[in-house]
Chains A and B, each alone.
Chain A
Amino acid sequence: MPLSSPIHPGQVVWTGENPGILLKEDPDGPFSAIALFFRIYLSPKGRGTVLLLLDSPEEQRTFPDGCNVLLHDNKELAEYLLETFILKLPAFAALPACESLSLIPMEECRSEGDPRVRYSEIIKAHSLEIELVWDGLGTPTALELPAELTGGKENELYTLLIESTNPSIHINGQRLSGSPVERVQAGIKTTTAFLYFSETWIRPA
């Protein structure tokens, strides 16, 4: 805080919710499972819900042999987020799984719980029932990040970060192995499991 004028001169790219869970089996190894969820209220491709789920990020295993999938209720939006957001993040662009993603329509999605304590997103698509759980939730922090402090380094960001110390990803009742690890965002020590609410990406003027 503050801008020189309360109205930001940049262009809103998209706004919504963007929680995620990134797990490792070995703290020094690669990510063993990744879930990145999007509930988009407003974007150039409209509204919608998208889930990037990678059960084997280091492998090119297409569904149903592997569960490296992009679930969506708006295919155009899913492709837009993949191209302009997910693959702009260096950690994702380098993953073999992102080269062989299966796009699958979502049949149902709902949130449950309380973001003060334990929160979950439940998604059904094809033969998949997925539950993402953020437990051990912390105190929320409002972030206003210049482009250079974001993963893609192109756009500015407003978001509300609530970290989770005990997350889990379940596919058809099976919990994926791995634990969150420490990360630093804008100088804050946090974890690789997080709720991001009221998230707005802004292209600088």
Chain B
Amino acid sequence: MTEVETRIAVNPGRVEWAGDNPGIYLRESPDGPWTGLGIFFRVLFSEYGQGSAMIILGDPQNAQGFPDARNLCITTNSELTQYLVQDFVSRFPSFRSQPALEAMTWLEAESHLSDGDMKTSWTETMTASGCEAKMHWAHLGEPFAVEVTPKDCATGIHDMYSVFLEARSASICLNGESLSGNVCERVFFGREMSTAFLAVSETWVLPSAT
């Protein structure tokens, strides 16, 4: 394949982090605002060490934290998660204008469990004092690899490698109650795809200054 053969084998940029980064974005109507946003991080390598974090914005347009609103972040590594929120999540188009992102309550994780086979379904569960947050992906599609430059990257400034699996159905639960809304279609690099996805084996690289 000519494009691959002419690519540069060694990315000269600085590796920011590597790990998994699946998400679920829910809407009550296809043209309406997001009604529930969930994103999970399992970081194997970063400047701030390893860790896992789950960010749930059940009331994305409400500038209040949990339990007044369903907006929270559960983390095993606060320093890492602050970096991820500031440099990545706050740049993601679905999250960046949401008042809940700044107002969400930060909770220290008491436990974290991954479950599933990644062929049919997958679940991430994190618990903190007084809270259990669960993200569930089902009806998974075939995996495909992506390689994006800053032009197409969700942050607008990184190179990113990943493996994606589309989920045709998904749910976000807080203390056993599902957030309202459904997964919907979006155009993802020219392909129609659900707004629920697994994203594993990611590497984010800050390109070198030219």
Contact = CB atoms under 8 A, between A and B. Distances in A.
Interface in B38-83: 44-45, 47, 49-50
Interface stretch (A9-17, A24-32, A64-72, A94-102): A9-17
A46 interface: yes
Interface stretch (A53-61, A78-86, A144-152, A167-175): A144-152
Contacts of A149: 9
B9 A144 contact: yes
A140 B45 contact: yes
Nearest to B204: A142
Interface in B14-47: 15, 18-20, 44-45, 47
Interface residues of B, number: 43
A18 to B, nearest CB: 11
A186 interface: yes
Given A6-B152, A15-B163, A198 B189 contact: no
A17 B44 CA distance: 10
Given A42-B118, A198-B203, 9 more contacts: A1-B7, A2-B149, A6-B152, A7-B189, A15-B200, A42-B143, A142-B15, A144-B9, A160-B15
Interface of B: 1, 3-5, 7-11, 13, 15, 18-20, 44-45, 47, 49-50, 117-119, 142-149, 152, 159, 161, 163, 165, 189-191, 200-203, 205
Interface of A: 1-10, 12, 15-17, 41-42, 46-47, 114-116, 139-146, 148-149, 156, 158, 160, 162, 186-188, 197-200, 202, 204-205
